[in-house]
Structure 1
Amino acid sequence: MGLTKKKAARKTAKKEKAASASATDVPSLLDKANVLLAQSNFDLAIKFLERALELEPGNLEARELAGVAELEGGDVDRGRAHLLHLFPPHAAANPDSPSPYLYLAQTADGPEEALGYYSTATAMIENALNAKGKGRAGEEDEEELRKMALTAIVAMIEIWMSDLCFEEAASSNCDGLVARALSISPNDPEALMALASIRMSQSKFDDAKEVVLKIYRDMEGRDPFDPMLPPLPVRLQFTRLLLEHGLHMEALDVITTGREEDSLEVESAYLEGWTWHLRAQTLEEAPTQNWADMDDDEEPMNADECYAESLRALLEAAKLFTEQDYPDEGIGSHLQELIGGLQKRGVKPAVHAVEDEGEDDGDVEMS
């Protein structure tokens, strides 16, 4: 009996020691930090990661997570400092994961530095995709890698089309990059949108419009919550692209999915109002123009009706803008300009607008 009691006591002591260690050992700290990062609790995640680095200063996982947490929490300098510790001379070799390169690219001091990090990350991801194509990983992992590669390639295209647009090799580099993106995912909407933008910059307007219509056909008729639809931010960007080509009906079709998915999204409401406004202007210039896909038993909307729909959506956007203290000043000033212009014309919001929100014929103050 005495021996049994001693064994039980030793087991209890071991359990207590293990429990105590689990609160402070590095793997447990990293597990907790990962959970906190997933919850966007960056400040607390940083505290756990700082403790992990105190215990193991050379732990690369802790260092990378600390960099990510600092960047996501808003401290770019500290985040970059942590990530740069993953490279020589602080580490024995360069990171074998693309993630640090992608984060450093997003916070680079200049376009050339960003391109360098993006290029390295993309090459690593493409190599991983080739390996997975030989049956070394699951489909879910492969899809995630494709998304990472596309994000990096599209980012590089944007750099060449903005910061480096006057470089002699800009056009050819964009062509090469978008070809890589489409080889990874031929029907990806962001890659196709990049292709359309490239063709526009090359003054190949018909080719650009053809690409835009192809993207639209892939979205057309889908339910707002259809998982095959691109994420809402992509649809908002695509709506703007449709408007560049004067495709107002198609733009309204796409933006409607955004309004139904999130009725509190400021940019969706703004883009709906702006699209109706552009449609009204087009009808004023060509009053006989009808909707392309309108049912036979429906009357085409005239310019006045479109302006009324525009004011309805713009007033809603202005209200949301003020309530949310929305940070995009460009949208705010354009809303004021459009609403003011419509009110001077004597336009009244469409009859199905909300009437009990204290808007009094559309008078809205925006700060």
Structure 2
Amino acid sequence: MTRTKKSKPGHKQREEKKLAAAAAQANSTGGPIDAASLIEKAHILLGQSNFELAVKFLDRALELQPTNLEARELVGIAELEAGDEDRGREHLLKLFPPNVPESPSHPSPYLYLAQCAKEAQEALGYYSTATAMLEKSIADKDRKGKGKQDSIADEPEDFDEERQMAVTALVAMIEIWMSDLCFEPAAEKNCDDLIQRALSISPNDQEVKLTLASIRMSQSRFDDAKEVVVSLYNDLEGREPFDPTLPALPARLSLSRLLLEHSKHLEALDILSTVREEDSLNVEGAYLEGWAFYLRAEAIKENPGLLKPTSTAVETKEVIEGEAEDGEPMTIEECLSESMRSLIECARLYADQDYEDEGIGSHVAELLVELEKNGVVPAIHEDEEDDDGDVEMA
């Protein structure tokens, strides 16, 4: 398919109509159509996240060539991405014996099956196979590239993608051992082994470092965890919202939680400011911001010396509120007002989105009751519209 150099008004709509017409033709019994062209169009649709239409193309391709493994894998992926786990899983399992002579030799089907696995051990099995494949490929390419002048930064994009897939799968395995299988005798050792493998593949990966910090926290090695968390924050300090070098929002939320665990309230607020700017509807972001301001107020109560003027940028109103003021640390009253503002917003978002995390809902409700009882008035920012509607927490 040839791409136009410039996108004209209505171009996207016309392309979608063409693809829809092609899909209708693909599902008809007549017409000069072949599986290869259907698969090619399905690739385009998958790239556009148009999973339902991609399924139609791929279903027709499988009618024409029932043994086409590429079509079978792609339709399984498309069904999973569209939300039908049972159908997606059914298609992917047909890539394995006894349906075919040999199991897939590439990691993709294993990774998708791991994500929709019904049991923890099943997921681990698929992840283990996928990571073994990826680590072998990475090691082979490392050996071939040894002695050359090319740096990792100059490696092909698919090699970087392999590294990312490998560490993501290893982190997913660690999460299983730390949650579903946390009481297993081998859980701690397996977590240590897996994180070392991830670090050997990508030692500077932020998600890997976050996972390392979580492991150390679970092992009560708090100083080690704090060292990792502070190092991570130092790497990100000063980056503006929407900076492409910032980790994904879930990783930043995890880092904020870990910073709060170590009483790094202002550092957590610094990271959360980027989350709130990029996604103002994020429930957890609003919750953690309110909780961080609350904890900061509590810290000042215990240590009034925190109110002394500081030259550190993160401890000024400029960073916390996004406004250039006097550079003085926020008072207890200001922190509590900001906390209440964020928590009220979180409560509204929680109700609007019918958010599933009951722990956040109950904690926000508890904090708001306490703040109201103590006569705290929510802060009002100049760019906010007044909204006096009451919110009821589940």
TM-score by length of structure 1 reads 0.87
5 Å-filtered alignment, 1:279-294, equals 279-290=296-307, 293=312, 294=315
SS at match of 2:215: helix
Query: Is 2:152 the partner of 1:114?
Result: no
User: Deviation at 1:325?
Assistant: 4.0
Secondary structure at the residue paired with 2:242?
coil
Alignment map for 1:254-265 (pairs within 5 Å): 254-265=271-282
* CA distance in 1 between partners of 2:216 and 2:242 (Å): 31
- Residue type of the alignment partner of 1:303: I
Counterparts of 1:241-256 in structure 2, within 5 Å, are 241-256=258-273
**Equivalent of 2:225 in 200, 208, 212:** 208
8 Å CA contact 2:351–2:391 kept in 1: the answer is: no
Q: 1-side partners of 2:316 and 2:173: how far apart?
A: 43
Whole-Å separation in 2 of the counterparts to 1:148 and 1:171:
23
Q: CA deviation at 1:329?
A: 3.7
> What residue identity is the alignment partner of 1:302?
T
Match of 2:198 among 178, 181, 196: 181
* In 2: Cα distance, 1:142 partner to 1:356 partner: 48
One-letter code of the match for 1:255?
L
CA distance in 1, matches of 2:75, 2:328: 60
Unmatched runs of 5 consecutive residues or more in structure 1: 1-18
Q: CA deviation at 1:353?
A: 6.1
Give the C-alpha shift of residue 187 in structure 1. Answer: 1.1
Residue 5 of structure 1 aligns with which residue? Answer: none
Residues 92-103 of structure 1 correspond to what in structure 2 (within 5 A)? 92-103=101-112
- What is the deviation of 1:74? 1.9
Query: Shift of the alpha carbon at 1:138?
Result: 4.5
State which of 69, 86, 89 in structure 2 corresponds to 1:77.
86
Distance in 2 between the 1:336 and 1:22 partners? 62
Secondary structure (helix, strand or coil) at the match of 1:300 reads coil
Q: How does 1:50-89 map to 2 (within 5 A)?
A: 50-89=59-98
Paired with 1:25 and 1:274, the residues of 2 have a C-alpha distance of 58
Unaligned 5+ segments in structure 2 are: 1-24, 147-153, 318-325
- Contact 2:107–2:134 under 8 Å retained in 1: yes
Pairing partner for 2:172 from 144, 152, 155? 155
Output the CA distance in 1 between the equivalents of 2:257 and 2:218: 16
Name which one, 1 or 2, has greater alpha-carbon Rg. 1
Structure 1 Cα separation of the partners of residues 116 and 383 of structure 2: 43
TM-score of the superposition, structure 2-length normalised? Answer: 0.81
- Contact conserved, 1:22 with 1:28, CA < 8 A, in 2? no
| Cα shift readout 1:201-249 (whole Å, capped 9, x = no counterpart) | 2221111111111111111111222222111121112111111222111
CA distance in 2, matches of 1:22, 1:197: 57
Relative to structure 1, is the Cα distance of residues 366 and 202 closer, same or farther in structure 2, using a 3 angstrom cutoff?
closer
- Counterpart of 2:10 in structure 1 is none
Residue pair 2:351, 2:393 contacting (<8 A) in 1 also: yes
When residues 354 and 318 of structure 1 are mapped into structure 2, their CA distance, relative to the original with a 3 A threshold, is farther
Separation (CA, whole Å) in 2 of partners of 1:248 and 1:161: 26
Q: Which residue identity lines up with residue 334 of structure 2 in the other structure?
A: E
| Residue type of the alignment partner of 1:33 | A
Number of equivalenced pairs: 347
Larger mean Cα displacement after TM superposition, 129-138 or 201-210: 129-138
Pairs within 5 Å for 1:164-313: 164-290=181-307, 293=312, 294=315, 298-313=327-342
